[in-house]
Structure 1
Amino acid sequence: MPVRQRSNPGSQSALRLSNQQRILSTVSGGPTTQAEIARATGLSTATVSNIVKVLVDLGLVATSPTTSSGRRAQLVSLSSTDGAVSVGIDFGRRHVRIIVATLDYRVIAEKEIEIPAGYTAAEALDIAANLLTSTLNHARVSRTSVLGVGVGVPGPIDRRTGTVVDGAILPEWVGVTVGMVEEIFELPVYLENDANLGALAEVTWGSHAGTPTVVFVKVGTGIGAGLILNGVPYAGNIGLTGEIGHTPIYEHGLLCRCGNRGCLETVASTTIMIELLSRTLDRPVRTKEIVRLALEGDERAIRVVEEAGLAVGRSIAAITNLINPHTIIVGGPLTGLGEMLLGPIRSALQRYAVPMIMETTDLVMSSLGERAEALGGAALVLQQAGIKPTVS
């Protein structure tokens, strides 16, 4: 489950929210009469009627007269795309990206802005809040129509407290809580690790939608994995899953920010790739330039990419042997490299993974590119509201 401040589980407000989600989940399968909803959910017809009225006022559903078994009835369906929306926001080292989606999983607005490196969490949240307002205004969507905001951050989140903890790529975020984000946005917020959102986006919006077991690996400033097991995002005990960037590769390698030596992050992150290539070229480079140079055939950039890919593949092999996924999806800012990055990852997998497992596992590049995490945030809000994907 994503992190979000909630009412006391036994409170009336929590019960109403639960019942709303049950009804939305039922209706997301297609237009349904109130009597059919009552039978499907076990709620009384009076309760269903009252909740449907609330959902109509919120713009989540619409009703229309119909007949059922020869009797007049009320047909309930998800509202049109002019109704409620969900919002996904992704924070990176140098960017904030926002996506607004309708209840039928259609993106109606999308914006990205660059922000200076080294920003504080408070500065980033203020920038995002202003971006949210301007994006909604541009899309002509009322703020009251926002069902919630799914926020992705590049770091682990302790689900017991809803707090970003040590290990975040952006140390400025350590200590930030979901409550603090909700105060700034003045909207319900679901706080999640960015790799987890990337995984959710891939099985919701991507070309592998519906794939039951997926490993999504984001290769960026840090390296993290989001897991989908049997169609459900896997969060582990307290939410700290997929930290493959801190898997030791070389026993006597560089000191990692986690305290260990030779971690994958010290070998294959875009940070180390930038450092190596900048030193070789004797000038500063950025991630986009790594992609451009490699695609243009620069031998130095190609070497850096190959070595990073081999290290990533070796780490992924351990996960592959453990959970036997259907698909491994590589995402992050290097997706434009395509087979140039997938090739060395595949070579390492073939060496370190069990042969039969590797033979039956697909390795692909993300079809969503750098949009994945924000899309995952929007999908998270909808699915927490009980609104099932309508895309295939």
Structure 2
Amino acid sequence: MKRRSRNPGSQTALRQLNRQRIIDTLLGSGPSTQAEISRSTGLSTATVSNIVKNMAAKGLVFTSPTTSSGRRAVSVTFNGNGAIAVGIDFGRSHVRVVLANLSYQVVAERAVPLPLGHHASESIKAAADLLARLLAEADLPRSAIVGAGAGIPGPIDRRTGTVVQGAILPEWVGIHLLDRLEKVLEVPVYADNDANLGALAEVTWGQYGSVSNLMFLKIGSGIGAGLILNGAPYYGHVGVTGEIGHATINEHGPICRCGNRGCLETVASTATMIELLGRGSAEPLTVGDIVSRALAKDSATLRVIDDAGLAVGRAIGNVANLINPEIIVVGGPLAGLGAILLDPIRRGLLRHAVPVVGESTTLAMSSLGDRAEALGAASLVFAQQGISRR
């Protein structure tokens, strides 16, 4: 969720837009004089001078005297590490932290496991410890941080900033995530659902920057979808969107954790796969075991994945009929399965979508792996600072 909104017609928004134009010029052309920036952006020299002065004060650029066409000038050099965004992915059994710079490069990254059923205070402390460790390893001052983005596997009510019922982390329900994180991290914090951040990552860090209508489907312990519609993240009325894991697949099926029967999660989540395939096993089964067994062509594992994929395809077919996305990207811990998972999903999609919609919708596996949500969280910070690739 956003910490604060911006009026797109305000002077602040205009300054952010102009700053973005200058950053884009420096990223594309390298060190440039203020006069060259003015010609490239169409901004007046006075406007460029004022914005550059402000950026230099914040450590975003370096300036130095130079000559151009025999005249004294000011050379401006972009400082890639002058502003660092922190991306945090809180999972059911892990927390991952990345540090990213304005050039959309990962400066440092680390993840640690967490026990199932962990409380918010435990994982927030783990994130804070990771952040301190990464800053030290990268030799970066805390003052370089412009904000932190955080994602959790569950819905957040954007009106109140609280985690609502239905989260994979039930111990987090009811807490005000922003306040808790800001108190510990001591930086501005922006939070969102992990699937929403996965979608944002695909259009900022991934290969789909030119796509205006994209759906990111995360299949894990829960199943959620993030939507990019008309080039912007879609949040609906209160922020609870993309809860595709609770689409009814079998109205007489097992009870879901949400209280309904036969939800997609009861058929296709990794938790369900582990339960089905782990029966009679002496050792606890992991998602990694499912992936390795499937790649080894284990027949029982392939059948479970095929059933799950068909159910997922049916659910996204209904969504595709509503929003007609250009591409649906599948992410989460099963991404390593590739076509083994994508093929049954595609069959389900084509069976349940209107033919022209199913045939024109691209289905792909995410190339960002288990980093997508943390990278999206870092992108969220830059977007709130008026700095974006889109």
1:25 has 2:20 as partner: yes
In 1, distance between residues paired with 2:43 and 2:91? 40
Following superposition, the deviation at residue 282 of structure 1 comes to 5.5
Q: C-alpha offsets along residues 320-359 of structure 1, whole Å, 9 cap, x if unaligned?
A: 1111111110000000111100011011011001111121
Matched with 1:170 is: 169
In 1, distance between residues paired with 2:140 and 2:270? 37
**Structure 2 counterparts to residues 245-260 of structure 1, below 5 A:** 245-260=245-260
Q: How many residues align?
A: 380
Matched with 2:103 is: 104
1:261 has 2:256 as partner: no
Higher RCO (CA < 8 A, seq sep 6+): 1
* Bigger shift: residues 24-33 or 183-192: 24-33
In 2, distance between residues paired with 1:93 and 1:342? 24
Matched with 1:230 is: 230
Matched with 1:125 is: 124
Q: C-alpha offsets along residues 162-181 of structure 1, whole Å, 9 cap, x if unaligned?
A: 11111111011112221211
Q: Secondary structure at the match of 1:86?
A: strand
Matched with 1:92 is: 91
Contiguous gaps of at least 5 residues in structure 1: none
Matched with 2:272 is: 272
Q: TM-score, normalised by structure 2?
A: 0.89
In 2, distance between residues paired with 1:251 and 1:116? 33
1:315 has 2:315 as partner: yes
Matched with 1:208 is: 208
8 Å contact from structure 1 (residues 204, 210) kept in 2: no
In 2, distance between residues paired with 1:199 and 1:54? 32
Q: C-alpha offsets along residues 296-329 of structure 1, whole Å, 9 cap, x if unaligned?
A: 1111111111111111111000111111111110
| Structure 2 counterpart of 1:28, one-letter code | I
Q: Secondary structure at the match of 2:259?
A: coil
| Structure 1 counterpart of 2:207, one-letter code | S
Q: CA, structure 1 residues 244+23, in 2 after alignment: closer, same or farther (shift >3 Å)? A: same
| Structure 1 counterpart of 2:200, one-letter code | L
Following superposition, the deviation at residue 72 of structure 1 comes to 5.9
1:378 has 2:345 as partner: no
8 Å contact from structure 2 (residues 2, 384) kept in 1: no
Matched with 1:358 is: 358
Give the CA RMSD over aligned residues.
Answer: 2.7
Following superposition, the deviation at residue 284 of structure 1 comes to 2.0
In 2, distance between residues paired with 1:180 and 1:322? 37
In 2, distance between residues paired with 1:73 and 1:98? 41
Matched with 2:327 is: 327
Following superposition, the deviation at residue 269 of structure 1 comes to 0.7
Q: Secondary structure at the match of 1:363?
A: strand
8 Å contact from structure 1 (residues 21, 384) kept in 2: no
Following superposition, the deviation at residue 147 of structure 1 comes to 1.2
| Structure 2 counterpart of 1:341, one-letter code | L
Q: CA, structure 1 residues 257+69, in 2 after alignment: closer, same or farther (shift >3 Å)? A: farther
8 Å contact from structure 1 (residues 328, 361) kept in 2: yes
8 Å contact from structure 1 (residues 25, 385) kept in 2: no
Q: CA, structure 1 residues 173+70, in 2 after alignment: closer, same or farther (shift >3 Å)? A: farther
Q: C-alpha offsets along residues 130-166 of structure 1, whole Å, 9 cap, x if unaligned?
A: 0000011101111100111111111111111111111
Q: TM-score, normalised by structure 1?
A: 0.89
Q: Secondary structure at the match of 1:227?
A: strand
